[in-house]
């Protein structure tokens, strides 16, 4: 089935008090965050500077409202939203918006991925990571691309995985290879969660100041993998799907 871009976002510009408590301007910063989200979702695998820090707080505060269920691991962020009636706690397997700092305690393969009739009901998952590096030039000249990204270049660092992103918004002649500050096993789990299009999850990767998106319309695969450990094969992905159902 042909993959098509997804643009539905859980966005509502209310709860200015929650924004201010996090040091985020509820008008200017929300607008900037929304525009940047649209940019990275329409160009999967590119990195954009947000201009609002920390970026994961800005993204979550922009997306969450009182009508959505959320799972937020960051206590400061959770308390600020909860104090203003914008946080309805839910387990990760039923939440609409999910936030994690690094590797989560839950499995992304178990979060909502929508249905064939309503694929947009899949969750939006925001990861806070320490590293984001892309081979593709960003629209922001301050972000320099790295044209020599391979898994071998970070082979000694098991906290970083190198993946290639494909799908709508990625020109056929473009190499969208990115290094993400998560263990390869976690990227394998994300790949499995994205493997049943049109069902899937929208993934937002953020550092303190920048972000990158892997929407559910995109697919990811390991780039230049030379090491056999923690490799998720197509067969093992299908086995997990069978067990889950």
What is the predicted pLDDT for the residue at 9?
Answer: 43
In a domain, 1, yes or no: no
244 pLDDT tier (thresholds 50, 70, 90)? low
- What confidence tier does 158 reach under pLDDT thresholds 50, 70, 90? confident
- Residue 183 domain flag: yes
pLDDT tens sequence across 198-238: 999 999 999 999 999 999 999 999 885 443 333 333 444 44
Evaluate whether residue 101 is within a structural domain.
yes
The pLDDT, as a whole number, for residue 215 is 96
Q: What is the pLDDT of residue 2?
A: 56
Kindly report, residue by residue over 64-82, the tens digit of the pLDDT.
988 899 999 999 999 988 8
Rounded distance between C-alpha atoms, residue 21 and residue 24, angstroms: 7
Query: CB within 8 A of 70, min separation 6: which ones?
Result: 60, 64, 81, 87, 88, 89, 90, 95, 96, 97, 98, 99
pLDDT attached to residue 7? 44
- pLDDT tier for residue 148 given thresholds of 50, 70 and 90: low
pLDDT averaged over every residue in the chain: 82
Look at residue 245 in the predicted model and tell me its pLDDT. Answer: 52
pLDDT bracket for residue 10 (50, 70, 90): very low
Q: Given this model, what pLDDT does residue 24 score? A: 87
**Rounded distance between C-alpha atoms, residue 51 and residue 53, angstroms:** 7
Total count of domains within the chain: 1
Does residue 10 sit within a domain? no
pTM, full prediction: 0.80
40 found inside a domain: yes
Read off φ and ψ for residue 231, nearest 5 degrees: -95, 125
Q: What is the pLDDT of residue 15?
A: 52
Nearest to 183 by CA among 204, 160, 165: 160
Is 163 within a domain?
Answer: yes
Q: Is residue 210 part of a domain?
A: yes
Tens-digit pLDDT profile for residues 11-31 = 444 456 666 778 888 889 999
pLDDT higher than 90, residue 182: yes
CA 20, CA 86: separation in Å to the nearest integer? 14
User: Residue 160: which domain range?
Assistant: 16-244
Residue 5 resides in a domain: no
- Cα torsion angle, 126, 131, 134, 139, sign: positive
What pLDDT does residue 240 have?
52
pLDDT score, position 223: 80
- Name the band, by pLDDT with cuts 50, 70 and 90, for residue 197: very high
Residue 192: DSSP 8-state: H
Point out the least confidently predicted range of 68-72, 92-96, 159-163: 159-163
CA distance 82 to 227: 44
CATH assignment at residue 210 = 3.40.50.11310
pLDDT for the residue 14? 47
């Amino acid at each position: 089935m042909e993959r098509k871009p997804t643009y539905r976002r859980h966005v509502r510009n209310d709860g200015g008090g929650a924004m201010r408590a996090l040091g985020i301007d509820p008008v200017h910063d929300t607008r900037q965050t929304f525009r940047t989200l649209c940019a990275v979702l329409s160009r999967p695998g590119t990195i954009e500077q947000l201009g609002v820090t920390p970026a994961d707080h800005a993204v979550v505060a922009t997306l969450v409202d009182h009508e959505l269920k959320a799972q937020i691991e960051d206590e400061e962020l959770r308390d600020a939203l909860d104090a203003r009636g914008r946080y309805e706690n839910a387990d990760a397997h039923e939440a609409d918006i999910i936030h994690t700092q690094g590797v989560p305690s839950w499995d992304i393969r178990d979060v909502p991925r929508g249905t064939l009739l309503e694929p947009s009901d899949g969750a939006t998952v925001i990861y806070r990571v320490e590293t984001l590096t892309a081979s593709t030039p960003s629209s922001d000249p301050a972000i320099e691309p790295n044209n020599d990204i391979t898994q071998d270049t970070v082979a000694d660092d098991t906290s970083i995985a190198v993946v290639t992103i494909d799908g709508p918004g990625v020109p056929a002649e473009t190499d969208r290879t990115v290094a993400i500050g998560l263990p390869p096993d976690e990227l394998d789990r994300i790949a499995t969660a994205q493997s049943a299009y049109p069902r899937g999850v929208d993934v937002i990767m953020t550092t303190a100041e920048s972000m990158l998106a892997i929407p559910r319309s995109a697919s990811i695969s390991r780039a230049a993998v030379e090491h056999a450990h923690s490799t998720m094969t197509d067969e093992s992905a299908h086995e997990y799907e069978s067990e889950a159902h």
